[in-house]
């Protein structure tokens, strides 16, 4: 059985079906990129995995343990949800750093609240993480003193602080100025080299092509096509996929 198994996830808001039956699996250390046009349900899928939305149907299994089963969804206690949630980390499009805390404290806070170690251990780990994303000289800066790219890198360190099994990125560079996307993409690439399991929702086709082991193209709430970067980018089987890739290529050219 694969490390992450997502089975038949469904989600609707009112009468609008946003996700209509999605299944995929991921091995440990694999990087999955999810691409697709706006409104295809990519972000909602990611939010379901992180329990920010409760899926109406389906199961999520991590490392053999069923952490979500829609049939039991209403019975989950807050504590159970919090525990299951820690399997996943999430990096938001809008960073969502806590503005009143320094970069270091942003990374430390959740560890302190969950008491994952002594104060010294937590601080040392947080410093290491910020060092890893290249921000060791920004430890005591507040988010408002950091550029968008730096804020997003703090957010990556913050998500890593709780050592999640699977790290999710929700369009991590979409809110950034073009000249700042590079530093964030570089940080994510470095994580791939350290064998992290990741799911990345992105509009950066080139990045997806180079960093992902597996690509999912989503359209209208279903997986239109799934495969390796070569399969998807070089020989798309579905016409929809080909059309989407073509139009995003044209936009890049403009």
Q: Which region, left, alpha or beta, applies to residue 248 given φ > 0 means left and ψ of -120 to 50 means alpha? A: alpha
Residue of the chain from 13, 28, 72, 98 that contacts another protein (CB under 8 A): 98
**Binding segment for another protein among 93-101, 124-132, 196-204, 235-243 (CB under 8 A)?**
93-101
Q: Any contact of residue 85 with another protein (CB under 8 A)?
A: yes
Q: Any contact of residue 159 with another protein (CB under 8 A)?
A: yes
Q: Any contact of residue 73 with another protein (CB under 8 A)?
A: no
**Binding segment for another protein among 66-74, 126-134, 137-145, 237-245 (CB under 8 A)?**
137-145
Residue of the chain from 88, 169, 207, 217 that contacts another protein (CB under 8 A): 88
Q: Any contact of residue 186 with another protein (CB under 8 A)?
A: no
Beta sheet of 222-227, edge-to-edge order = 88-91, 166-170, 197-201, 31-35, 214-219, 222-227
Q: Which residues in 37-56 contact another protein (CB under 8 A)? A: 50-52
In terms of DSSP bridges, do strands 4-13 and 57-62 run parallel, antiparallel, or are they unpaired?
Answer: antiparallel
**Binding segment for another protein among 64-72, 78-86, 177-185, 189-197 (CB under 8 A)?**
78-86
Q: Any contact of residue 97 with another protein (CB under 8 A)?
A: yes
Alpha helices in the chain (DSSP H): 42-49, 78-85, 103-114, 119-132, 148-160, 178-193, 205-211, 229-234, 239-253
Q: How far is the CB of 100 from another protein (least distance, A)?
A: 5
Q: Are 106 and 154 in contact (CB under 8 A)?
A: yes
How deeply is 153 buried, as exposed, middle or buried, from its count of CB atoms within 10 A (0-12, 13-18, 19+)?
A: buried
| Interface residue list for another protein (CB under 8 A) | 50-52, 78, 82-83, 85-86, 88-90, 92, 94, 96-100, 109-110, 113-114, 142-144, 158-159, 162
């Amino acid at each position: 059985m694969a490390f992450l198994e997502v089975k038949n996830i469904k989600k609707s808001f009112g009468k609008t079906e946003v996700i209509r039956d999605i299944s995929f699996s991921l091995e440990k250390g694999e990087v999955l990129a999810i691409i697709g046009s706006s409104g295809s349900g990519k972000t909602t899928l990611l939010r379901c995995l992180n329990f920010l939305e409760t899926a109406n149907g389906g199961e999520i299994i991590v490392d053999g343990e069923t952490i979500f089963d829609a049939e039991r969804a209403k019975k989950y206690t807050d504590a159970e949800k919090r525990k299951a949630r820690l399997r996943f980390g999430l990096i938001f499009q809008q960073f969502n750093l806590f503005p009143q805390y320094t970069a270091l404290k942003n990374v430390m806070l959740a560890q302190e609240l969950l008491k994952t170690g002594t104060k010294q251990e937590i601080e040392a780990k947080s410093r290491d993480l910020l060092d890893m994303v290249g921000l060791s000289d920004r430890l005591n800066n507040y988010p408002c003193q950091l550029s968008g790219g730096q804020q997003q890198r703090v957010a990556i360190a913050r998500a890593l602080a709780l050592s999640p099994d699977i790290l999710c990125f929700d369009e991590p560079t979409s809110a950034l100025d073009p000249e700042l996307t590079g530093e964030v993409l570089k940080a994510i690439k470095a994580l791939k080299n350290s064998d992290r399991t990741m799911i990345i929702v992105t509009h950066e086709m080139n990045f997806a092509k180079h960093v992902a082991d597996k690509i999912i193209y989503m359209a209208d709430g279903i997986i239109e096509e799934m495969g390796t970067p070569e399969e998807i980018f070089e020989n798309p089987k579905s016409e929809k996929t080909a059309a989407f890739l073509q139009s995003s290529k044209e936009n890049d050219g403009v």
